[in-house]
Chains A and B, each alone.
Chain A
Amino acid sequence: MPSDFAPISALLILSVAVSLIIVFISRLLGPFHPTTRKLSPYESGMQPFGEAIRRIPVKFYRIAVLFILFDVEVIFFLPWAVVFRDFKLYGLAVMGVFFFVLMIGFVYEWKVGGLEWD
C-alpha cells in the first residue's frame, strides 16, 4: 500500500532538509576569501593543464552494459526466489534452464576476455 511508504517520506524530507542545511553552513559561517590559486584545480602543486573531463576508456562502458544484464537477471531471480519452495523440483528446473542459458553467455564472455580489465 502507498501508505506504507508515508513514514519513509518523513525521513526523506528530514534528511534532504538537513543535508541542504549542512551543505550551505560552511559557506555561511566560514571565511571566504577566494584567490586564483585557491580556485584552480589541484594537480599536486603543478600548474594545471588541459581539461579534466576527457574521454574515458571504453571498458567502463562494457562494465556498465554487463551490469545491466546481470541486474536484470537478479530481478528475474527475485520473484522466483519468493515462491520456488512451493514448486519443488519443477521450480528448480525452470530456473535451471534460465540459469544455464545465462551461464553460456557468461562463460563465453569469460573465454573471449570480456572480463579482463586490461
Chain B
Amino acid sequence: MDITIESLVFLIFGALTLGAGVLVVTSRNLFHSGLYLMMSLFGVAGLFVLLAAPLLAGFQVVVYIGAIAILIIVAIMLTPGLTQIKTLFNEQWMVNLAAAVIVFLVLVSVITPLMDDVGVDNWNADFTEDHPKAVAADSMTTLGEQLVDPDYFMLPFEVASVLLMAAMIGAVLLVNPGQAEDESVVPPEGEEV
C-alpha cells in the first residue's frame, strides 16, 4: 500500500480517533475522559471530511463536539466528588465486553452489504475520488429535498420534532426549577454563580 496524502491524513485522523477513544475508557479522571471524547469525535469529523462528506462532518462538529460533549463535561462538573475513579473495571465488565462485541458484529454485518452495494469490494479502495454515488448522496440540496418529500423522510422529520418536544419537556421535569431550594442541588457554600 503506497502512502498518498489521503492515506496519511486518514492515518492521522484514524489514530486520533482510536487513541483518544482508548484514553476515554482508560483515563482515571472523568473530566479528562470527556476531553478525550471530544478529541475522538473531532477525529471522526476529520474522517467524514476525508470520505467526501463535509456535511456530515459539520453536523458532527456542531452537534457532538459543540453540544453533546459540552453537556457531558457539564454533567461531570456537577459531580466533582466522583471525578477521580479508583477502579477501571467494575463487576459488569464481562457483560459490557460481550455487548460491545455484539454491537461491533452487528455494525460489520450492516456495513458489509452496503459496501458491496456501492461497489467497494476491498478495504484498500479509494473512497475519496471518482465515486459519484457516495458524493452525490451528501449534497445539502438532496438532503433538504428528501426531508420534505413524503416518499422519503417527511414522516421521520415530523416525528423528530415530537421527539425533540418530549426531550424538552423531559429536561424541564428532570431539572425542575422548584427543586432549587433543595439541599442536594445548591452547592455547599450556597454561593452565587
Contact = CB atoms under 8 A, between A and B. Distances in A.
Interface of A: 1-2, 4-5, 51, 53-62, 64-69, 71-73, 75-76, 78-84, 86-87, 90-91, 94-95, 97-99, 101-102, 104-106, 108-109, 112-114, 116, 118
B54 A59 contact: no
B75 to A, nearest CB: 6
A1 B164 CA distance: 32
A54 B80 contact: yes
B167 interface: yes
B110 to A, nearest CB: 24
Q: Is the interface of B mostly helix, strand, loop or mixed?
A: helix
B145 interface: yes
A37 to B, nearest CB: 24
B80 A64 contact: no
B128 interface: yes
Interface of B: 6, 49-52, 54, 59, 62-63, 66-68, 70-71, 74-75, 77-81, 128, 135, 140-141, 143-145, 147-148, 154, 157-158, 160-162, 164-169, 171-172, 174-175, 177-180, 185-189, 193
B143 to A, nearest CB: 4
Contact of A55 (B79, B145, B161, B178): B79
Contacts of A58: 78, 175, 179-180, 185
A101 B161 contact: yes
Contacts of B51: 2
A108 B172 contact: yes
16 contacts: A5-B49, A59-B180, A60-B78, A62-B175, A65-B171, A69-B167, A69-B168, A75-B59, A78-B140, A90-B148, A98-B161, A101-B161, A108-B168, A112-B172, A114-B172, A114-B177
B71 A94 contact: no
B168 A75 contact: no
Contact of A61 (B74, B154, B161, B177): B74
A78 B178 CA distance: 36
Given A5-B54, A61-B75, A114-B177, A109 B168 contact: yes
